[in-house]
Structures are given as C-alpha cells and as structure tokens.
Amino acid sequence: MPCTVICGGFWGDEGKGKIISYLALKDKLDFCVRTGSVNAAHTIWYQGKRYALHMVPGGFVHEKCRLLIGAGSNVEVAQFFKEVEETNVKNRIGIDNQASIIEEKHSAQDKASSHLKGLGTTGRGVGPAIEERVRRTAKIARDVPELKPYLADVAAETNNAINGGKNVLLEGTQGLMLSLFYGTYPYVTGRDTSASAICSEAGVGPTKVDNVLVVLKSFMTRVGTGPLPGELSKEEAMKRGWFETAAGTGRDRRSAPFNFELARKAVMLNGATQVAVTKLDCVFPQCKGAKDYNDLPNDAKQFVNQIEKQTRVPVSLIGTGPEALDIIDRRR
C-alpha cells in the first residue's frame, strides 16, 4: 500500500508544492489527492514556469498522474476552471461529488468577519463556506451543472488505487500551527490541518497510510495575525534573504528562525515517518543547487543533523533551490 501523506509543520508556506512536484516526477505518482481549501496555494516551479495552485493538485507535473479533489475540500468553481486551463489537466482531474462549494457571498462574509475579529484571514470565503456546510445547507459539487463532467467518488478511486498497489499521495494544505484544534487559536484556519484530517478529507483510513512526510522550511514564515516565536523585523528578514510574499494572496510573510520545539510538536501530532526540509539554500547559500548530501557545507549538515536529533525522524528530502528537481534525496 504505497500511500504517502504530505503535511506542513509550521504556518504553511513550507514548500509543500515543491516536495509534491518532486515526488510526482521522481516516483511517477499514479494518484495525487488534494485536500483543504482555496485559501492556500502551492507554489511549483517546473520547466522554468511558476504555478500558484489553489485547486489543482501539485502532482499535475507528471502527465500520467490522476488528480483528485477530496470530499472534505471546498471548491471555488471559477478558480478550479482557471487552473485546469493553466495546467491542461481537463482529462485527468476529478472532484468528489460531496466536496462543498465556495460561493461569492462567502467571500464578502469572510472579509467582514475577519475585519471585525482581527483574525487576518485571506478573505477567500473559506470560513463561512465551512460554517454553511456544518449547518448542512451548503451547495456541494453535484449541485453545480458545469462540474458534472468532473464528478468522482474520490474515496473509492483512491482506496482502489492503494489496494491495487498504485503510488498514491495525499496532499495537505497550510501547516499544523494553523490547525483549528492544535494551532495558535483563534489565529487559525477553519479546519484541522494535520495528517489525520488530510486522510479524513480524502476518505482514506489510517491503516492505508505507509508514510507521513512533514515539510519544514529552514526558517519560519506566517501571513496575517497571530504569534510567531522569534519574529524578525521586515528589515532583518530582507537582510537575511528570508522576506517572502504569499503565493496565493501576495501578502507579506512575517519571518522567524527555525524553531525546534515546534518541529517536534509537528512531528508528534502528525505521526511523521519522514521530514522534508526546504529552502536550505536561503539559510546556507553555499547549498544552492546541491544534489548530493556530501556536497553540503558542515554547518548545513549540522543543522540537518540537529533536526533529526530533536525530532527523532530522518530528514529524507532537502530542498536546495526553487525548481522541482532541486532536491537532495536521502531516501533508500
């Protein structure tokens, strides 16, 4: 049962899109199932082009990969069609019949609520759409005529693929510290973001999962409001080369050094079997473009070793540049 769950360990922005695209190409993924919602984008650089995807799974880079959006997801119809066109995946993507729909009214409600409460949400309408779903009054995918050609039973397809020995990846969004249950409440998203929730949203039971890969960036960032331990000034972040803007919203990302305590928490709560570390080249510039662990400078190796020591989980993938294949792969 070759099934892997990808999840973020901090506040999102960890580089999950890069890791997903690498695994899709390297391992020739058969299925990639996206969970979560439209308020989070995965950035993928492939063949010199940048993609910021809110709906289409990052596994699209492998042309034979079946792409699915799980029942627990929220779908913004216009964004879905925009990305399908951009990535040219019309003939290999499906949406679960019971995925819920984000309507225009939800965005207006979200922006008003965020302003009043000071939560700093993206304003994409996710929270109000989830509220409506909980009240059991939401529109779902099977209620939208233009989605009819894409409707699927994602849980059945995914489980059949796993049972058939196919290579399956479940793709989470955001990071554990934005979890409604385990994050920095109330400055969190409207759902759980852990590996367990990813499985639930995709319709895959825990016994079907072989690997849980937690993605950690070599420094931390978060957008919006809420605590960020060790936060740096914008000036200091720019000086270090750690200043970023969010792929989905264009908002400034606040920055802070890597936090080992939070890394341990993320590994524990997600039940991680492996860790991926991204943007090592942003902290140790000599690492840029490296493909072999032995080519890393000693201080970079010490950093990776410290992550393994603190989390007690192997660092199997290391990102050393923006392109999908800028990876040191330490898996056996």
Distance separating alpha carbons of residues 217 and 14, to the nearest angstrom: 5
Distance separating alpha carbons of residues 126 and 191, to the nearest angstrom: 10
Residues with catalytic roles? 13, 42
Q: Left (φ > 0), alpha (ψ -120 to 50) or beta: where does 165 sit?
A: left
Q: Is the dihedral of CA 112, 117, 118, 122 positive or negative?
A: negative
